Amino acid sequence: MEQYRIVLGLEIGRDFLRAAEVEDRNGEYFLSRIAERKLESLNVEEMVQVISLLMNEESILSRIVSAAIDTTLVDKGTIDVDSDMRHEEIVSFLRAETAFHNDFVEKELRPAYEVISVKGDGTKEIFYAAVDKYLLESLRNACTRCGLELNFIDLDHSCSELTVNKLIKPPENYILITVKGQQIEGSFCRNGERAAYKYVNYTGEPFYFVTRMSNDLESLVDDYAGRIFITGSSADGFLIDLLQKSADSRYELLVPNENILQSPAVLSNQKLTPLPHYFSSVIGAALK
């Protein structure tokens, strides 16, 4: 039976909102619209105004939304917990842990987690992320007021992993590194599943931190990545060229639009043409 669905991906950053509308035509994907707008704040009124204008100006058709949240807005990391800890116990532990990390500031953080690996010493490693409840509620309320059904929320780096898995057809092992602002985060993926994760804050040139990140990730899993994808707002062709010439030919910019059909509106988009990797996470959100 022929299947057709159209999903709007939204990415929420500290000062921007990106959108990508993707049509799924029996497993073949068509990128119909892509856009970016400035956000003055993360409150619900600002989101409603920006999303409404974007939908009207870009003639957005979908009313189903999947969202990606910039990881610089969340508390995140990896931690070992006892293998026999129940879900409720882990969530309670993460609430206390993230409150401590944030000096018990007056905001309620909503933690979520995924198991990365089960170890032989009676522990399991989990990746966790805790998002401000106010941000989540603002996003949900803004979507509702704009007539949108918000079905899914994830982190931008995770959505970029999905872009690699669904559009790039990667090798069995690959590394994804996101470079933005003063933060670099990376994940080692095996058969489409995250096997290791790490992030660091940095100052100076990202080149050295990117190479160290990829080496550290391979050491964590004692394995080799066939390809190393780079994305994020601080990544560019110069960084990739430097990495390929000075470090390793496996480095490449994550270019999601090379493997998806595109509408004339997308092909003529002056933002996408020079900076396609900027949209890897919002496209991934729409693919969810």
Return the pLDDT at 140. 97
- Going from the N-terminus, what domains does the chain have, and what CATH number goes with each? 4-71+135-160+258-287 (3.30.420.40), 74-133 (3.30.1490), 170-255 (3.30.420.40)
Return the pLDDT at 61. 92
Return the pLDDT at 287. 93
Mean pLDDT of 224-245: 89
CA distance 136 to 113: 16
pTM above 0.85, yes or no: yes
Return the pLDDT at 76. 92
Confidence tier at 259 by pLDDT (50, 70, 90): confident
Residues 74/51, Cβ–Cβ less than 8 Å: no
Instruction: Report the sign of the C-alpha dihedral through residues 246, 165, 70, 99, in that order.
Output: negative
Return the pLDDT at 120. 80
Return the pLDDT at 15. 93
CA distance 225 to 205: 23
Tell me which amino acid residue 119 is: K
Phi/psi region, residue 26 (left: phi>0; alpha: psi -120 to 50; beta: rest), is left
Return the pLDDT at 106. 56
Lowest mean pLDDT among 84-88, 228-232, 242-246: 242-246
CA–CA distances in Å: residue 31 to residues 75, 192, 213, 266, 288 = 31, 22, 32, 7, 14
Q: In what order do the strands lie in the sheet with 193-201?
A: 193-201, 183-190, 173-180, 227-231, 251-253
Residue with tokens 């029996």: 26
Q: Is the pLDDT of residue 10 over 80?
A: yes
Lowest mean pLDDT among 81-90, 107-116, 253-262, 277-286: 253-262
First to last CA, the chain: 21
Lowest mean pLDDT among 57-61, 98-102, 110-114: 98-102
Residue of higher predicted confidence among 43 and 268: 43
Mean pLDDT of 192-220: 93
Return the pLDDT at 109. 86
Longest dimension (CA), the chain: 56
Return the pLDDT at 235. 87
Beta bridge partners of 82: 123
Confidence tier at 105 by pLDDT (50, 70, 90): low
Torsion of CA 231, 237, 238, 244, to 10 degrees: 80
Residue of higher predicted confidence among 101 and 87: 87
Q: How many Cβ atoms from other residues are within 10 Å of residue 83's Cβ? A: 13
Return the pLDDT at 201. 92
Q: What is the pLDDT of residues 22-31, one digit of tens each?
A: 998 887 899 9
Residue of higher predicted confidence among 228 and 247: 228
Instruction: Report the sign of the C-alpha dihedral through residues 11, 42, 204, 238, in that order.
Output: positive
Q: Is the pLDDT of residue 102 over 80?
A: no
Return the pLDDT at 64. 96
